[in-house]
Amino acid sequence: MAEKKVNVAIVGASGYSGEELVRLLLEHPHVNLSVLTSRQYAGQTMTSVFPRFAGYNHAADLKFSSPSIDVLSEKADVVFLALPHGIAAEFAVPLANKGVTVIDLSADFRINDAAIYKEFYGNEHPEPQWLTKAVYGLPEIHRAAIANATLIASPGCYPTSILLPTIPLIKKGLIDTNHIIANSMSGVSGAGRNASLPFLYVECNESLRPYGVPKHRHLSEIEQEMGIANGAPVTIEFTPHLVPVSRGILTTLYLKPPVDHSNDFTHWIKSVTECLEDFYNDETFVRITGNKRLPDTKNVTNTNTIEIGWASDARTQRLRIFSAEDNLVKGASGQAIQSFNIKFGFEESIGLKI
């Protein structure tokens, strides 16, 4: 298999997620980057836009082009879409219909239910029949489905940081699903590589601000996946905040025991601990720090690892779980490559830093 190379295209390769895909895939031993598209930089060499990649093999040969379904389907076995939501669907469906594997980093196919999509994104979904065919690309939860998917909807950065710590507990009935609070802080790259006043250096430096409450779009996929794990709908509180780092998401989850665990706090904490440790014991990219050390984004930036740790509070009989990830890697491009590895039968960690 060492010789096998997959032809890979990246559509929207000049945004932050696209750039991160380029960075990671240039070093992936089984990838041949065949097409990079960028409307903004079409015609320019990739290294003129991203000089830091100049030293990579073959980087000098790469040029941005305008995206074309025909060219993509001809030259690529798999297409990563790093496009704004709404636009991704225009590429995903025709490509998937031609049998090309599509790994979509946008939100376009993350929601199973067209009504929920409309509620959160404001418009009718253009291709609702694909909503159920697409697989939500959270490898630790949907690995088997990813291996067989044609269209993989790679999760959002916030959802990844919230779902991985909670889904195992929800599945086992270990937390009260009427009381899930997710408080997240994100670095500015989460806002994308778009010239926009609120994300200028001077506007973000020395600024701490909440936004997108009470109904950030990521809530829709978070609650969907929690609902699947729960076997019944889940509604949560989620608050994103913008803080002055380039990369990283730190999520703090406030949780309490379900009724049938509320009499023995120590036992509950033990069950939670065992559940998470067992669930993630064999996972390459989940580092359980438990109650030994609290997560810190500094430990995970530029890697595909998510740290998960917790602190029980005997005073309130409640639990806080913390997760730290790189929003552009485990929260976006790294995770998409993890799904790619699964789908194409490569070792899951190939091309990714742990």
User: CB of 343 within 8 A of CB of 149?
Assistant: yes
Q: Which of residues 137-166 bind a second copy (CB under 8 A)?
A: none
Cβ-based nearer residue to a second copy, 65 or 252: 252
Pair of tokens at residue 50: 């991203």
Q: Which of residues 275-334 bind a second copy (CB under 8 A)?
A: 284, 287, 289, 293-303, 305, 307, 311-316, 318, 320, 322, 324
Q: Which of residues 180-219 bind a second copy (CB under 8 A)?
A: 181, 183, 185, 187-189, 193, 195-197, 199-211, 213-215
Q: Which of residues 31-50 bind a second copy (CB under 8 A)?
A: 48
d(CA 70, CA 37): 13
Q: Residue 160 Cβ, how far from a second copy at the closest point, in Å?
A: 15
Q: Which stretch binds a second copy (CB under 8 A): 53-61, 106-114, 143-151, 266-274?
A: 53-61
The reply to whether 204 belongs to the active site is: no
Using CB atoms within 10 Å of the CB of residue 294, give its burial: 0 to 12 exposed, 13 to 18 middle, 19+ buried: middle
Q: Residue 151 Cβ, how far from a second copy at the closest point, in Å?
A: 29
d(CA 144, CA 301): 27
Cβ-based nearer residue to a second copy, 101 or 189: 189
Identified binder of a second copy from the candidate list 16, 64, 158, 280, rule CB under 8 A: 16
The alpha carbons of the chain give a radius of gyration, in whole angstroms, of 20
Q: Residue 254 Cβ, how far from a second copy at the closest point, in Å?
A: 5
Identified binder of a second copy from the candidate list 52, 61, 270, 278, rule CB under 8 A: 52
Cβ-based nearer residue to a second copy, 141 or 286: 286
Q: Does residue 235 belong to the site contacting a second copy (CB under 8 A)?
A: yes
User: CB of 335 within 8 A of CB of 139?
Assistant: yes
Cβ-based nearer residue to a second copy, 76 or 185: 185
Catalytic residue (choose from 81, 157, 163, 308): 157
Using CB atoms within 10 Å of the CB of residue 95, give its burial: 0 to 12 exposed, 13 to 18 middle, 19+ buried: buried
Q: Which of residues 240-269 bind a second copy (CB under 8 A)?
A: 241, 243-250, 252, 254
Q: Residue 296 Cβ, how far from a second copy at the closest point, in Å?
A: 4
- The Cβ of residue 353 has, within 10 Å, a number of other Cβ atoms equal to 15
Cβ-based nearer residue to a second copy, 97 or 284: 284
Taking each helix axis from N to C terminus, what angle separates 114-121 and 218-230, rounded to the nearest 10 degrees? 150
Q: Which of residues 79-118 bind a second copy (CB under 8 A)?
A: none
Cβ-based nearer residue to a second copy, 114 or 294: 294
User: CB of 317 within 8 A of CB of 257?
Assistant: yes
**DSSP secondary structure string for all residues of 250-297:** EEEEEE---GGGTT-HHHHHHHHHHHHHHHHTT-TTEEEEETTS---G
User: CB of 177 within 8 A of CB of 225?
Assistant: no
Chain-centroid distance, C-alpha 286: 14
Q: Does residue 24 belong to the site contacting a second copy (CB under 8 A)?
A: no
- Active-site residues, by number, are 157
